[in-house]
Structures are given as C-alpha cells and as structure tokens.
Amino acid sequence: MTHRTRLAAAIAATLFVAVPTAHAAGSPAKGGRAHPGTTTTTIHRSVGADGAIDATRTGPRGGVTTVDRSIGADGLTDRVVTGPGGRTQTIDRSRGGDGAVDATITGRKGGVTSIDRSRNADGTVDVTSTHTGP
C-alpha cells in the first residue's frame, strides 16, 4: 500500500467510527429528554420575483425574522429585515461616482448610519461612517 492509500483508509475508518458516535451522543436515551442545550433554528429561503433570495428564519423560541432582499436599478442588493418584535432594519446600497458602494442603514430603533466609501487613485478604499439617532 502506498502512503496515500493508507492515509485515505485511516481517514475513512476514523469517519466511519466517529460519525455514528457523534449522532448517538446527541440523541436522547430511550424515554429520556434531548440535551438541555439543544436548540433548533430553521431557515427557509426562496427566490423573489426580482431574482433576489429572500429568507424566513424561525428561532429556537419561535421568533420569526423575515429578510426581504431586492435588486435595485443600480444592480445592488438592498435588504429589509423584520425581526420577531416587528422592528425593521433597512439597508439601502448605492454606487457612488467613483464606483465604490455606499450604504444607508436605518436601524430597528430609528437610528441612521451612513457609510460613504471612496476609492483613492491607488485603488485603496477609504470609509467614513456616520451614525445619528439612538
């Protein structure tokens, strides 16, 4: 056997032994309860009418977060996130005259963050972030 063949066989044997053990460790015993630290989050993704991928996340305590993405006229993807409490965060991206992508983020508590990126002559990007509100 070559070194590679032996290495591949050792890896396969390790996975064969480790995977069933890992699954068995996470499952409850007969008549028992699941591990107290176990949580489940479900993410359902779908393609919207504009071709952007939207998502609905259901958290471990039943809270639902909706992510609605849309492709703007400039080709950039904007996003609206609605959290379990009904609060909404909006992210609006736009392309500046120098080709850098700027953003305006309206937070769940009403604050607004403006991110202004500018491209220098040598190709590096400077960022100025301004936050107003709560």
Q: How far apart are CA 60 and CA 39, in angstroms?
A: 5
Q: Which of 95, 92, 87, 119 is nearest to 103 (CA)?
A: 92
Report whether 39 contacts 62 (CB < 8 A): no
Residue position matching structure tokens 């996340």: 57
Residue position matching structure tokens 């107290």: 36
Q: What is the pLDDT of residues 82-122, one digit of tens each?
A: 998 889 999 999 998 888 999 999 999 889 999 999 999 89
Q: How far apart are CA 41 and CA 48, in angstroms?
A: 22
Report whether 115 contacts 126 (CB < 8 A): no
Q: What share of the chain in percent tops pLDDT 90?
A: 48
Q: What is the pLDDT of residues 67-83, one digit of tens each?
A: 999 998 888 999 999 99
Q: What is the pLDDT of residues 22-67, one digit of tens each?
A: 444 444 445 555 566 778 889 999 998 888 999 999 988 889 999 9
